[in-house]
Amino acid sequence: MPTPPLPLVERHHDRAEHVAIKMGGVELTYGELDRAVNQAAAALAAQSSGAGVIAVPAVPEVETVVATLAALRAGVTVTPLNPGAGTAELAHMVDDCRPALVACRPDLDLP
């Protein structure tokens, strides 16, 4: 499947060394962001087996941005999960969207 363009990243290909995102002490240039998104999109495509939905915890971190952009680049729908929601609400959201996987760090504490 061809890689869909991501206008925000693609538009800045001539400024690959410029900072694209800065969160929580982590900084990525446009070039680094593009490479991270491509790597994650390839891993997602391999893991999801063509699944249409993944869930991503909506936390203010660079990893959230990379996972979301990677899913979009892989042509996968993203459902954000609020880690602050209660167990019942998260269970309802996951049951409703039936994600093929939840893309998060192992140390993220989801109820």
Per-residue pLDDT of the chain (111 residues), as tens digits, is 445 555 555 666 677 788 989 998 999 998 899 899 999 988 887 775 656 888 999 889 899 999 999 988 888 889 999 988 888 998 898 899 888 888 777 776 665
pTM: 0.79
Task: Please give the Cα distance from 58 to 99 (Å, whole number).
Answer: 15
Contact 18, 12 (CB under 8 A): yes
Determine the pLDDT at residue 1: 47
Strands 26-29 and 19-23: antiparallel
Determine the pLDDT at residue 44: 82
Which residues, 6 or more positions from 1, have their beta carbon under 8 angstroms from its beta carbon?
45, 75
Task: Please give the Cα distance from 78 to 47 (Å, whole number).
Answer: 15
DSSP state of 81: E
